[in-house]
Structure 1
Amino acid sequence: MQESRRMVGSWKLEELINFEALQTMFENLNKVVGIPVGIMDMDGNALASAGWNGICSSYHRKHPETAKRCKISDQCIKMHIGYDDFVAYKCLNHMWDAAVPLIIEKEHLATLFIGPYFHEDELINLDLYKKQAAEFGFDEEQYLSALQEVPRISKEKIRSLLEYYKAFVMTVVDSSLSKLMYMEASSKLNRLFDSMQDHIILLDRSGRFLEWNRPISQEVCLYPEEFIGNYYYDVLPYELCALLERGLKRLETEDVIAPHIFPYRVNELEVWYSAQITKVMHFLSGKADCYMIALRDVTERKKTEDEIRFLNYYDKLTGVYNRRYYENEIKRFDCEENLPISIIIGDVNGLRMVNDAFGHDKGDELLQKAAAAIQAACREQDLVARWGGDEFVILLPNTKGEDAERLIQKIRQLYSEEYVNSVNINISFGWETKYSADEDIMKVLKSAEDYMYKHKLLESQSLRGNIIGTIINTLHEKNYREEQHSKRVSELCQKIGKVMGLSEIDIHKLKVVGLLHDIGKIAIGEGILNKPGRLSDLEFIEIKRHPDIGYRILSASDEMLDLAECIWAHHERWDGGGYPKGLSGTEIPQLSRIIAVADSYDAMTSERPYRKALSDHEAILEIRNHAGTQFDPDVARIFTEDVLNNRWE
C-alpha cells in the first residue's frame, strides 16, 4: 500500500486507521459477499482493497487511455459526493461503481469504492465491449471472459451495501468504537446476506451450521430453524454435500478452495452453481476457524460461456467445427497411435450460383445439407470442420486410403437425394493418407487439397451447366410467359445475325443468349414478375437488377463468360442512358445490341398483364423512332427491313 499524504492535524491517516486490519477484513468480507471493495485516498492511492476484478486490474487500470478514464471517474465522484451521503455512478469504462466518503474532522480524506458491477436487470452491450477491445488492443476472448466475472447486483442490494458501508465508514473513524462497529456491521451484514444473490453458508469445524441466508432455505425448501445446529449432510442437496466433503478435507492443509461449478436440478430445471469454500475467522459470532461456502447461481454465465465456446470452436451455420479448432486439433491428431491418418477435403460445387440465383439463405441451406451428409457418414472419433466458405476438411484417425475413398462414396450416397430449389447437392473431394510418423501432415493436407481441385476442374463445368438448366426451368415454372418470350427472342436474334452475316459461332451464341438473357429474373420476386399493373419506382429498381444477377450466375462458368458479358449489357442504350453500366454506342457488345432490339420488339408485340399487345406496325414505328437513341440504328434498320420485311422510311 502507498502512504497517503493526507493529515488530520499532526496525525497521518494511517496512524488513525489500521489499514492492515481493514485489508484483512475486506478480504474476508469479499470471500463472503464476492463484491469488490477498496478505500482510496484523494491522490488515487489504494489504502485497502479486495476482490477487484480482472477487467480493472488487467485491462481498464492498466492501459493508459482506459486508466485515464478511471482516474477522471474517481476524481469526479470525489468532487461531487456529499459529506453524509453515498452515490452510485457509471464510470467512463461503462460499468457501475458506488462510493462512500471517509470524513474525519469535516475533512474528506478518502473514499470507499464498491465495484465495478452491473445491475442485475441491465442488458450488457457486448458490441460496445468488443469495440473497446479492438480500440485498445485487448484480446477480445480474454476481455469478454473477464467481463463475465463482473458481478451483477440489483439496485436494492447495492443500496443495502451502501447503507452497510456508510455505517461501516462512520464507525471506522473512531477506533474506540470497535465493538459498536462489529455489532452494527453484523446487523447490516445479516440484512445484506438476506438480500444477496449469493447463497452463504457458515459451518463450524464439525460441519454444523452457524449462519445461513434466506435464499438457501428457499432453494432447498427448508426453514431457518432446520439449519442451526444441524450437520450440512443432513439438510443440503447430495451434489453439494459431495463437493463439501472433498473441499473440507482439502481445507485441512489449504485456506481457500477455488470455485467449483456444478449443476443442480430445481423443479425440473437445471441450475448451475459456483461454490467456493474458505476457512475464515467468524468475526460475527466470535468463533474461530469456521468454514464459509459461497454459492452463486451462474446459470446465465454458464450459458454465455457455452455460447462463447461454441462460437470459438464451431461454425455457427453448419454446426461442425471451425477452422480455428481444426488447426489446433490437427496437432493432437498427428501422433503415431493414430496412424494411418487420412485427410479428406471437400468443396461444395455451385454455391455462388445458388447464392446469386436463389438468395444466400438457399446457399446456406446447401452448405447445411452438405455438412449434415458429411457428419452422418463419419465416425464419432473423426473430426469434421468447415475449412473455408464452401470447403470442408475431414480428419480420419486409423483410416487407410481405400477406407477414406469408401467414406466419400457413402457421403455421396447420402446427399444424392438432397436438393435445394431443385439443385442437387454435389461435392468435389480429394484425399490423402499419412502412413508413417516421419511424413509431414501439412504436406498430406496439401496433397489432398490439390487432388480435390483436380476433381473440381473435371466435375464443375458439367455441373454448372446442369445448375444453369435448373435455374432456367425454375424461372419458367415461376412465369410461363418468360419461357415463350425467351424462345421468340432467341429466334429473332438468330435471324438478325444471319442477315448481318455473322459467323456460325456468333449465331449460335445469339441462340443461347436469347434463351438465357432474362436468367437473372430468377432472383426477382414472383409478385413483381407477374404484377398485373405497372411497376412502382421501387419495383422497377428491383427488376433492373436482373442483368447484374444474370451476369454473376453465368460468369461462374468459364465457357459462358462471353455470353455473361452480352447478357449483362442487353439493357444498355445506344445513347448511354441504359443500365446497369451506362455504356453507349459501340462500347455495348454487338450481340447485346441485337438482343436489345429483339427483346424490345417481342415485349411490345406480346400481351402483358398491365397492357394489350401492340400491333406489328406500332412496334416497328417505336423501334424506328428510337433508333440512334435506344437502339443501334444499323441493327434497328436491318431488323425492320430484312427480318420483318418492312420499309424503313
Structure 2
Amino acid sequence: MNDAMYQSILEHAPMGYAYHKIVCDEAGKPCDYEFIEVNPAFEKLTGLFGAKILGKRITEVLPEIVNDSFDWIRFYGDIALNGGKKEFDQYTAALNIWCRVLAYAPKKGFFITHFIDITKEKTQLEELNNFFELSLDFLCIADMDGYFVKTNRAWEEVLGYSCEELIRTKYLDFVHPDDVQVTREVMNRLNEQNPVVNFTNRYRAKDGTYHWIEWSSRPQGKLVYAAARDITDRKKIEQRLERRMLELTRPAEDTSTIDFSELIDLETIQRLQDQFSEATGVASVITLTDGTPITEPSNFTRLCRDIIRKTVRGCQNCYKSDAAIGAYSVDGPIIKRCLSGGLWDAGAAITVGGKHVANWLIGQVRDENIKESQLVAYAREIGADEDDVLRAFREVPRMSIQQFEKIAKLLHTIANQLSNLAFQNLLQARFINEKRQNEKEILYLSYHDYLTGLYNRRYYEQELARLDKKENLPLTLLLGDVNGLKLVNDTLGHLMGDELLIKTARIISQVCRKDDIVARLGGDEFIVILPRTAGSVIEMMIDKIKSLAAAEKVGGLAVSISFGYETKNNEAEDIEEIFKRAEDDMYRHKQYESTAIRPRPK
C-alpha cells in the first residue's frame, strides 16, 4: 500500500484515528503522550484539530485530563511500553463524550487509538435502563438455558427477590409444581424463536406464597425478552366469580349445597345488617338455616356475646334458637323468647325461588316480664357465673313488645326483598351461563367440523395466514384424500361413510403433533399445517398414518388415504402455490392408490 492510498483511507475512515508517542519521566514511567497524527474523523468527534495539537502533549491540549477519574496516561503508557491490544467503552470527562476505544502499540513507545463516539448509544441505553427500573411490571432478560440474565426492581417489590438473588438462577426453580410442564412447553416454543403472549403461571414469592403471573415474551437469538405482571388479585376475582356462577347455576331444588355468600355479596349484607342494628337498637346476625352464623354479629349484648355463647351448652342452645326462630313463615316474622336466655328475639327467612337458604335474626332486648331469677337459674344450667350473668342482664336494653314487633315486621320486609334479589341473581346468572354456553358452542361450531370434530376450512385459512411467517419455516402442507368414500356411501349408506370419515380424522390426529393444525376441508379432503417441519419428517408420518389406517375397517373395507405434501422453505414463496403443489402431489398418488391395495410410490 503506497502512502497516498494509506492517507486516503485515514482521511475517509468513519472512525477516529490518532497516533501517539508516549512520554516517560526520569524513572521511565509514563507521564504524558504526544500527538503525532490524527484523521478528520478524530477532529470531528473531538473538536481537536491536527493543525493545533500535532507535536503537542495531551496535558497541553487537555490539561484537565489529569483530573479525570480514569488514568488515560498510565493506561496508554502500559500498552505503548508492554504491547498488547485493548478494546473498551469509556467516558472522557475532558471531552464530555463516551468513546468505544481500540488501542494497540505498533512499536514500543508508540500507540494508536481507533475510536467512535457512542454517547448517543449510551444515552439511549441509560434512558432504557431508567424505564426498565421504573416499570411497574416485571421485566427480565433470560437465556435459552432458562437462567435470568437481567431483572428489574419490580421483582423485589412484588415477589421479594433482589436482582442479585435472581441473576443466574433458573426461573423454573420458582414455578409452581403444577405449572412446570406447561412452562417447559412454552420454553420450547421460545427456543424455536416463537413469541409467546398472555401466558400465565404461578411463581413462588420469597415468603413462600404463590402469585399468578401473566407473561409476554419474545425471543431474539440466544436471549428471551419478557414483560410480566402480577394478576393474583384478578385471578382471585375470577375464581370467586366462577364459584359464584357455579353456585347460582345449581338446580333450584338443590338447597343442600347453596352458599348464601355466593348469592349475595357478604360485604354489602354486613353493611346493611350493621346499619339496621344501629338504627333500631337491636342485635342482629344472619345465619344458615341450622343457626350457624354467616355474618359478624351486630350490636350483640355482653350477656349473649361474652357469657352465654362462650359456654358449650349456651352456644348450642343459641344455634337451636336461631334455627327455630329463623324458620320459614308465610305469615310474617317469628317473634318469641330466645331458647337460650329468654330475651326477645325475632327471625325472618331468606329464600331463593321458594327454598329456605338463610335466617336473619334480631333481638336481645328485654321487657318487664323477664325476671332475674330466670337468668340465675339458666346460668347454673349452662355453667356460667351467676353474678356476671346478672350484671350483664341489667345492661340489656329495654324495649316494649309493641315496638319490637314493628321492627320485626320491617325485618320481614327487608328479608323478602333480599330473597327477591337473590332469586333475580339466580335467574340472571342462569341466563348469563346459558348465553355463555351458547356462545362457546357457536364459537366451537364456527371453527370445527360438525362430523369429525377437527378444525374446519375457515379455521385452517386463518391459521395458515397466521403461521405463514419466516419463523415457522420450513412450513409444510400435508393433504389427504379418503379413498373409496363414494363407494362406501353408495353401497353401505351414508352412516358408514360418516364412520369412515370419523375414523380417518382420528387416525390423522393420532399421528400429528400438538402444534400441528389438522382440518377437514370438506367432503373427503383433509389437510395438516406443520410448522417448522421438513419433508423428511412428513414421509415418516404418512407411513405411520397408513399403517394405522390399514388396521381399521369400515364395512369390511380397510381405511385408505392418499397423501400429498409440499414444503415452503423460502419466505418469498407463495403459500397458495405451495398448496397447489401439495394438492397435485396428492392427486398424483391417488391415481396409483386404490383402497389399500397399491403401495405409495416414493
Greater Rg over alpha carbons, structure: 2
Normalized per residue, the structure richer in helix is: 1
What TM-score, normalized to structure 1?
0.29
What TM-score, normalized to structure 2?
0.31
